[in-house]
Structure 1
Amino acid sequence: MTDTRLMEGKVAVVTGAGNGIGRAIAVMMAAHGAKVIINDIGVSLTGEGGSASPAEETRDAIRAAGGEAAISTDSVADPESAKKIVQCALDNFGRIDAVVNNAGILRDSIFHKMTADDWKSVVDVHLNGSFYVASAAAQHFRQQESGAFVFMVSASGLIGAFGQANYAAAKLGMTALSKSIAIDMKRYNVRSNCISPVAWSRMVSSIPTDTPEQKARVEKMMQITPEKNAPLAVYLASDRAAHVSGQVFGVRKNEIYLYNQFDLARVVADVDGWTPNSIADVAMPGLAAGFREPVTAAGVFPWEPI
């Protein structure tokens, strides 16, 4: 196997790069030759406060290892601010080649207790923020006829999760956004893929530990470091992944998954058309074999991570 620097000469923007998975991706991209824009506004897990310190710490780590990086403390959740993130890459390094949409916050709550603010704040950062940054970068990708997007999504959206309706909806929206970009921008050699990561970071540190089962789950997750997700992100942003677009991957420790995407499971038809009663008597029994009971990610991955 080759051991070359996959992002030599590239310029990458990584949002939410002040901590956790975003920091791990930014550091590894720099180690592979990329000049990196570290975007982070330094807020708490729920979106309060603000500080440049997390971004500065990531930048310092990259520079200490001999890499090049600059910071942006602009918010992804505002379209004009998001344009400044992309402009930061142009101002500092003259171009932009890759965007990793990773920034996020959590406002977990069981659905019937979730407020409108809980919903809007999470959707604004994850889904709207990803669109704003991707849209700003897309204008340059189109002109240069190259570019790569990596969207950090979640099993909460792909599979299901308890108490995360806002987060799950936003993450599944990001998955659809990525696929749409892959379709729309293929003609310009622009690629877009998703990674559903598993790692112990701020974004999962709020998982409850009220029961022995929850405690055991958290203890296992704490063994999976954010760095495990970085190699796939580097690969997908590099030219070696020129043939990969519109896909949804997952990473859990040393495992890499390829997720199925929505397709037809079963079909029934009646040449005379359906009535509510014939649907109940014929259509639903015929379709029921294709039903899937809603589950959480814990029910889909019953084995220990490798």
Structure 2
Amino acid sequence: MAGIVDGRVVVITGAARGLGRAHALEFAAEGARVLVNDLGVERDGSGGASEPAREVVAEIRSGGGEAEANAADVADWDQAGAMIAQAVETWGRLDTLVCNAGFLRDRMLATMNEQEWDAIVRVHLKGHFAPARHAIAHWRDRSKAGEDVRGRLINTSSGAGLMGSIGQGNYAAAKAGVAALTIQQAAEWGRYGVRANAIAPDARTRMTAGIMYEEQAPQGWDDKDPANASPLVVWLGSDACDVTGRVFEIAGGALNVCDGWQHGHVVDVGRKYSAAEIAEAVHTSITASPSPAPVYGAG
């Protein structure tokens, strides 16, 4: 029986461990050809090794699937372009791009240094834009040539980016940017046959194990298993996906769409405000509008 993504060509960044590895195995199990990208860095972005990506490729091949390894730095413009080109040269086209790569350098904003800020914004935000920019060039060219393009882009945001997270200001800002980027991509790229969505997963990975969650999985049902998020990602990356411009939270077996900024209650005096009137208008609008979700870790 053919899988839901049978024959589709899929690039997954950060696919050697955690969520990315789970996505790669799920896509392969559903019939996709998978380019497994991973720079092989540690949790904080240090180091680098190609072995982890090759291990996932070997696992997919041992199960009868098709896969190739890639060790590009996804936030490097030229390397990101070469990664997309590798998939096209290997299998003739690209159908789905899953942007997942990233690492953490957590610190309170009052003590965070410039390098800690720049490194996280680079890998998460530019590391989403650069591969997608090269992917859309491929899809746009095919669309303009008259092809029926069904490109799929899945970005990885986070609850930290949607709600904020104490001690993760750099990560939260970058992941908020990813959520906004997804909306922008969906609005601009639909004309080329591309649907863009994002996930905000809750899972035990190298970035969360021993910090947010226990290192070891429990016996029986594990609601923090990274593989729980992968069926959603595979569906979003398939022809069957009929939504675009949305962000989905997924935690264990619980899934929900998550709306971003919305217009609150408007207080209109029909003229320029005086400074003395502002406080009343502000509090009237706040009172009449939905309350924001709390920041993760806030007391």
Q: TM-score, normalised by structure 1?
A: 0.89
Report deviation, 1:285. 2.4
Structure-2 change in CA distance of 1:207 and 1:64 (3 Å): same
Q: Aligned ranges for residues 53-72 of structure 1 at < 5 Å? A: 53-72=51-70
Secondary structure at 1:45 match in 2 = coil
Report deviation, 1:4. 4.7
Secondary structure at 1:196 match in 2 = strand
Amino acid at match of 2:51: S
Partner of 2:227: 227
The alignment status of 1:176 with 2:180, answered yes or no, reads yes
Q: Aligned ranges for residues 63-142 of structure 1 at < 5 Å? A: 63-142=61-140
Report deviation, 1:219. 7.7
Structure-2 change in CA distance of 1:99 and 1:293 (3 Å): closer
Aligned-partner Cα distance in 2 for 1:128–1:260: 23
Partner of 2:162: 158
Aligned-partner Cα distance in 2 for 1:215–1:98: 33
Amino acid at match of 2:161: G
Partner of 2:253: 254
Partner of 1:266: 265
Gaps spanning 5+ residues in structure 2: where? 144-148
Cα deviation code 1:14-39 (max 9, x no counterpart): 00001010000011111111110000
Partner of 2:194: 190
Q: Aligned ranges for residues 20-39 of structure 1 at < 5 Å? A: 20-39=18-37
Report deviation, 1:8. 1.2
Cα deviation code 1:219-263 (max 9, x no counterpart): 89975111101000000000000x210011011001111112221
Contact 2:246-2:257 at 8 Å conserved across structures: yes
Partner of 1:302: none
**Residue of 197, 202, 205 corresponding to 1:201:** 205
Gaps spanning 5+ residues in structure 1: where? 209-213, 300-306
Aligned-partner Cα distance in 1 for 2:100–2:132: 12
Aligned-partner Cα distance in 1 for 2:78–2:291: 42
Amino acid at match of 1:64: S
Report deviation, 1:152. 1.0
Aligned-partner Cα distance in 2 for 1:225–1:93: 31
Secondary structure at 1:55 match in 2 = helix
Contact 1:200-1:222 at 8 Å conserved across structures: no
Cα deviation code 1:180-221 (max 9, x no counterpart): 01000111111100011111011212526xxxxx879x9899
Amino acid at match of 1:183: A
Contact 1:39-1:74 at 8 Å conserved across structures: yes
Partner of 2:146: none
Contact 1:103-1:126 at 8 Å conserved across structures: yes
Aligned-partner Cα distance in 2 for 1:58–1:71: 8
Report deviation, 1:92. 1.4
Report deviation, 1:296. 2.9
Identity %: 36
Aligned-partner Cα distance in 2 for 1:201–1:53: 18
Q: Aligned ranges for residues 5-16 of structure 1 at < 5 Å? A: 5-16=3-14
Aligned-partner Cα distance in 2 for 1:155–1:57: 30
Aligned-partner Cα distance in 2 for 1:284–1:262: 17
Superposition RMSD on alpha carbons, in Å? 2.1
Contact 2:61-2:67 at 8 Å conserved across structures: yes
Task: Pick the structure with more helix per residue.
Answer: 1
Contact 2:166-2:296 at 8 Å conserved across structures: no
Partner of 2:294: 295
Contact 2:75-2:122 at 8 Å conserved across structures: yes
Structure-2 change in CA distance of 1:44 and 1:28 (3 Å): same
Aligned length, in residue pairs: 289
Q: TM-score, normalised by structure 2?
A: 0.91
